[in-house]
Amino acid sequence: MLEVVDLECVRGDRKLFTQLSFSLSGGELLYLYGQNGSGKTTLMRAICGLLQPTEGEIRWEGESIRELSDEYTREVVYIGHKNGIKDDLTALENLRILSTLDGVHMSEDQAWDALDRIGLRGFEDLPTQVLSQGQKRRVALARLLAHQAKFWILDEPFTALDKAAVSLLQQVIRDHLDSGGMVMLTTHQEVKLTEGQVKQLQLGGGGQADV
Partner 1 sequence: MSSRIVNWFKFSSPATFYPLAGRMIPWFTAAAVILLGVGLYMSFFVAPTDYKQGEGYRIIFVHVGTAWMSMFIYVVMAAWAGLGLVFNTRVSAMMATALAPTGAMFTFVALWTGALWGKPMWGTWWVWDARLTSELILLFLYLGFIALQSAIDEPRRADRAGAILALVGVVNIPIIYYSVQWWNTLHQGATVSVSQGSSMGTVMLWTMLIMTLGFWAYAIAVVLARVRCIILERERDTTWVNELEGGVR
Partner 2 sequence: MFETFLAIVRRDLILAMRRRSDMLTILFFFVIVVSLFPLGIGPEMNTLRLIAPGVVWVAALLASMLALERLFAIDYADGALEQMLLAPQPLSLLVLGKVAAHWLVTGLPLVLMAPVLGIQYDLSLDGLRVLVITLLLGTPALSLIGAIGAALTLGLRGGGVLVSLLVLPLTIPVLIFGAGAVEATISGLGGEGHMSMLAAILVLSLFFAPLAAAAALRVSVE
Chain residues binding partner 2 by CB under 8 A are: 45, 48-52, 70-71, 73-74, 76-78, 80-89, 93, 97-98, 100-103, 127
Q: Does residue number 62 form part of the binding site for partner 1 (CB under 8 A)?
A: no
**Which residues are CB-contacts of 74 (< 8 A; sequence separation ≥ 6)?**
103, 149
Q: How far is CA 96 from the centre of its chain?
A: 18
Instruction: State the nearest-atom distance from the C-beta of 194 to partner 1, in Å.
Output: 38
**Residue 38 or 90 with smaller CB distance to partner 2:** 90
**Residue 68 or 209 with smaller CB distance to partner 2:** 68
Residue type, 185: L
**Residue 51 or 193 with smaller CB distance to partner 2:** 51
Binding residue for partner 1 (CB under 8 A) from 12, 122, 205, 206? 12
Instruction: State the nearest-atom distance from the C-beta of 105 to partner 2, in Å.
Output: 8
Contact indicator for 40, 186 with CB cutoff of 8 Å: yes
Q: Does residue number 13 form part of the binding site for partner 1 (CB under 8 A)?
A: yes
- Of the candidate spans 10-18, 125-133, 179-187, 203-211, the one that interacts with partner 1 by CB under 8 A turns out to be 10-18
| CA pair distance 47, 60, nearest whole angstrom | 10
Cα separations (Å) of 151 from 84, 96, 142? 18, 20, 16
DSSP strand pairing (76-79 vs 14-24): unpaired
Q: Does residue number 50 form part of the binding site for partner 1 (CB under 8 A)?
A: no
- Of the candidate spans 8-16, 89-97, 158-166, 200-208, the one that interacts with partner 1 by CB under 8 A turns out to be 8-16
Strands (E), 27-150: 29-33, 55-60, 63-64, 76-79
Residue 195: phi and psi, rounded to 5, are -75, -30
Residue type, 184: M
120 binds, among partner 2, partner 1, none (CB under 5 to 8 A by kind): none
